[in-house]
Amino acid sequence: MVKKTIGQDGEQAAVIFLKNKGFRIIKTNYRVAGAEVDIIALTGTILCFIEVKTRKSSDYGLPEAFVHRGKQRKIIRAAKFFSSRKAYQEFLVRFDVISIIRDEKGMAFDHLENAFEE
């Protein structure tokens, strides 16, 4: 399977995973100022900016290990821009990572809340 397809499948599965947990999806693949956020979702009074990492195995490390500081800075920059909108100024902001291992057995999810901070 092509790397891009694995990532896209993981993001689609993460949306379903979050909806099943009661999250309301606001936007997917949000791009601004050279940054991208895979999923923006609401849970209660928290506006979550979520990075999804999908891998075929953990042979080279867990998927969440690939959300390095540079990627985090880009997500934070996009989050600041998005959350400055009047409709979202009242919400708390949180940065999550959904780590997915997709192998022949299926998909295993790990939702890391507050995975990093500003």
CA distance 101 to 89: 34
What is the tens place of the pLDDT at every residue in 28-81? 999 998 999 999 999 999 999 999 998 887 777 777 888 999 999 999 999 999
Amino acid residing at 68: H
* Domain range list for the chain: 3-116
| Domain 3-116 coded CATH 3.40.5.50 | no
pTM: 0.91
On the question of pLDDT at 3 being above 70, the answer is no
Structure confidence at residue 86 (pLDDT): 84
Structure confidence at residue 21 (pLDDT): 97
- Give Cβ neighbours of residue 85 (< 8 Å, ≥ 6 apart): none
What is the tens place of the pLDDT at every residue in 91-104? 999 999 999 998 88
